[in-house]
Amino acid sequence: MRIDMPWWLITLTALLVVACTPVQDENHGAGFVAVNQTFWGADHDTPYPFTVDGEISCGIHPEFGPAVYFEPAGFADDSSIGTPLNKAAVESLKQAVMTPNVPYSVKKGADLSEAREVGLKVCDERMRQIWLLRRIGDNKKGIT
């Protein structure tokens, strides 16, 4: 059985499938990236390192630098303290005398290198946004 479909319909269908496929990096500018086991393997070489889906976020500590955290889905709010993924995050929590308070986290023996890279990319984008906002503010004030 042969089904004759116009080439433009096949092209349109393929385009819609690609356009509707979720992309993990779409929220970098928001200070976090949603991550999940289903799509992790498409963009990363290491196995998914977390026990549940969630968000990798970044906070910029003035003394320690970019601090990368993981928060399980549904726990990313102001009262949640995520699992630290780099030394800056660990040190900033120690300084604030805080401990992570979210359930679930990192799989035993997991390689966190790519998760840290994702978080550091979020930090880079946030720093770029801050820099641009400062430049815009300086330009409005007549400072060059």
Render pLDDT for 75-133 as a digit per residue (tens, 0 to 9): 867 788 999 999 999 999 999 999 999 887 899 999 999 999 999 999 898 888 888 88
Q: Is 8 part of a structural domain of the chain?
A: no
In a domain, 131, yes or no: yes
Collapsing DSSP to helix, strand or coil, 52 comes out as coil
Assigned domain for 6 exists:
no
For residue 64, give its domain range: 23-141
Residue 34 within a domain: yes
9 in a domain, yes or no? no
Provide the number of structural domains found in the chain: 1
Task: List the strands of the sheet with 83-84, edge to edge.
Answer: 32-35, 54-61, 65-72, 83-84
Q: Which tens digit of pLDDT belongs to each residue from 40-72?
A: 999 899 999 999 999 999 888 889 999 999 999
Task: Look at residue 120 and tell me if it is in a domain.
Answer: yes
Asked, for residue 7, whether it belongs to a domain, the answer is no
In a domain, 13, yes or no: no
